[in-house]
Structure 1
């Protein structure tokens, strides 16, 4: 299982607001019940099978283009741990246990 952070940003839309693009991307995530995700103020974090996550991110990347964006920048950070189960909650707990 992987934990992936993704930011999808349309460029040159004529407005500084991107919330409607983010909402459109999250509608794609809502159609993927096999993935857990968390919206944060700066990105979205997704947990699940890496191949599945990357396929969904590919769909999300297309959303701004469908809303007339001419350019989209997508940034992906992947945490793929193979020695034990990796979850969003587990990563947070590992830090809070040390506080």
Structure 2
């Protein structure tokens, strides 16, 4: 199980507001019920098999183009832990247990 955080930034949209693009990205993510996702103010976190996360990020990367963006910048961070099962919830709980 891998955890990935990504940020998609449409460039050249003619406005500084990106919330409509973010809403479109969220709608696309909801179609992929086989993975977990959590949107944050600065990006989105996905949880699932690594190959599937790459696939979903690629699909979501295309969404701004479908809504008029001419350029899109996507940043991705991946935590692919293979020595034990790790989830978004487990990672947070591990820190909370130490507080």
C-alpha displacement at 1:94, in angstroms?
0.8
Match of 2:53 in 1: 53
Q: Provide, for residues 34-86 of structure 1, a one-character-per-residue CA deviation record: whole Å limited to 9, x for no partner.
A: 10010101000000011111101101001000111011000000000000001
Which structure 1 residue ranges, 5 or more long, are not aligned?
Answer: none
2:30 pairs with 1:30: yes
Q: TM-score, normalised by structure 2?
A: 0.97
Aligned to 2:92: 92
Normalized against structure 1, the TM-score is what? 0.97
Query: Any runs of at least 4 consecutive aligned residues in structure 1 with deviations exceeding 6 A, and if so which?
Result: none
Distance in 1 between the 2:20 and 2:86 partners? 31
- The alignment covers a number of residue pairs equal to 99
After TM superposition, give the deviation of residue 23 of structure 1 in Å. Answer: 1.1
Unaligned 5+ runs, structure 2: none
